[in-house]
Amino acid sequence: MIQLQGVHKAFGRNKVLRGVDLTVPTGESMVIIGGSGTGKSVALKCVLGLVTPDAGKITLDGQDVMRADRDAFLARFGMLFQGGALFDSLSVWQNVAFRLQRGAAKRPKAEAREIAIEKLRRVGLKPEVADLFPAELSGGMQKRVGLARAIAAEPEIIFFDEPTTGLDPIMAGVINELIREIVVEMGATAMTITHDMTSVRAIADKVAMLHDGVIKWTGPVADLDHSGDPYLDQFIHGRAEGPIAAVR
Partner 1 sequence: MTALVAPVAGIGRLTLAAFAAIGRIALFGGRAVSHLVRPPFYPREFLQAVLAIGWFSLPVVGLTALFTGGALALQIYSGGARFNAESVVPSIVAIGMVRELGPVLGGLMVAARVASSIAAEIGTMKVTEQIDALTTLSTNPLKYLVTPRILAAVLVMPLLVAVGDSIGIYGGYLVGVHQLGFNPATYLKNTVDYLQSWDVVSGMIKGAVFGFIVALMGCYHGMQSGRGAQGVGRATKAAVQAAAVAILAANFLLTSLFFTQ
**Residue 31 CB partners (closer than 8 Å, separation 6+):** 191, 192, 193, 194, 199, 200, 203, 204, 206, 207, 208, 221
Within 8 A by CB and 6+ apart from 212, the residues are 18, 38
Rounded Cα–Cα distance for residues 58 and 37 (Å): 21
- Contact residue for partner 1 among 88, 110, 245, 247 (CB under 8 A): 88
Residue with smaller CB distance to partner 1, 132 or 214: 132
| String of contacts with partner 1 for each residue 116-155, x by CB under 8 A | ---------------------------------x------
When asked if residue 99 is in the footprint of partner 1 (CB under 8 A), the reply is yes
Site string (30-49) toward partner 1, x via CB under 8 A? ---------------x--xx
- Choose which of 37, 87, 169, 184 interacts with partner 1 (CB under 8 A): 87
| Helical pair 139-151 and 169-186, crossing angle rounded to 10 deg | 10
Interface residue with partner 1 among 14, 55, 63, 70 (CB under 8 A) is: 70
Residue 11 as a binder of partner 1 (CB under 8 A): the answer is no
Q: Which of 13, 89, 187, 238 binds partner 1 (CB under 8 A)?
A: 89
Q: Output the smallest distance, CB 83 to partner 1, in A.
A: 6
| Contact between 103 and partner 1 per CB under 8 A | yes
- Member of 79, 120, 209, 210 binding partner 1 (CB under 8 A): 79
Q: How far apart are the first and last CA of the chain?
A: 33
- Are the C-beta atoms of residues 51 and 45 closer than 8 Å to each other? yes
Question: Counting contacts by CB under 8 A, is residue 98 touching partner 1?
Answer: yes
Residue 75 lies near partner 1 (rule: CB under 8 A): yes
68 binds partner 1 (CB under 8 A): no
* Residues that bind partner 1 in the complex, under the rule CB under 8 A: 45, 48-50, 70-71, 74-75, 77-79, 81-83, 85-89, 98-99, 102-104, 149
